[in-house]
Amino acid sequence: MEAESKKEFWSWGKSLVVAVLVAFLVRQFLFTPVIVSGESMEPTFHDNNRVVISKISSLDHFDKIVFHAPNAKEDFIKRVIGLPGDTIRMENDVLTINGKEYPEKYLDSNKEALPEGQNLTQDFEVIVPEGQLFVMGDNRTNSMDSRIFGSIEEDSVVGKVKFRFYPFTEMGNPK
């Protein structure tokens, strides 16, 4: 009986070690949870939202990403506006990428809260250097982003937001 107990104990022990190792590898190289800090992505994300990011996803315009912020110790969450080589232009709150206008529906509620005649985003034009991304927060009046610190290195990206798991009432793929 004692030999059987030892055998079962070692079996459970090996299973536990394998499970912990798999969880570590998945978190380190594939997916990881992140807590949103601050208001820069409102209304898409709010302070203390919990999201899962993928560390292996390719990036495209308007993806939400987490990256190592330049000149800061923390990571930021922003929206990719420009990819390497893109010409980004903002004029009268109309975003143009490489000569094509893109509606930013995710900004509608922020625009509605502005006083009459005021723009949410100041006018600018920039060409995104190779190997870099141009990122902006959805809360344009309260976001430290590429308009302030410039384009970010593609290598600084931690991952792409794939899923919000908290608050439970907003669980799912954030738009």
Enter the pTM of the model: 0.83
pLDDT band at 26 (very low <50, low <70, confident <90, very high): low
Could you state, in order of their start, the residue ranges of all structural domains in the chain? 33-170
Q: Which of 64, 78, 146, 151 is catalytic?
A: 78
Q: How would DSSP label each residue in 26-60? A: HHHHTEEEEE--SSTTTTTS-TT-EEEEESS----
Catalytic site includes residue 40: yes
Position 172 pLDDT exceeds 70: yes
**Domain at 33-170, CATH from 3.10.20.30, 3.40.50.300, 2.10.109.10, 2.60.260.20:** 2.10.109.10
pLDDT band at 148 (very low <50, low <70, confident <90, very high): very high
**Dihedral sign (CA 158, 161, 163, 164):** positive
Catalytic site includes residue 109: no
The sheet carrying 100-102 orders its strands as 100-102, 94-97, 87-91, 124-127
Q: What is the pLDDT of residue 25?
A: 61
Contact 35, 75 (CB under 8 A): no
Cβ burial, residue 20 (10 Å; 0-12/13-18/19+): exposed
Per-residue pLDDT of 105-142, as tens digits, reads 999 888 888 888 889 999 999 999 999 999 999 999 99
Q: Which of 40, 143, 146, 151 is catalytic?
A: 40
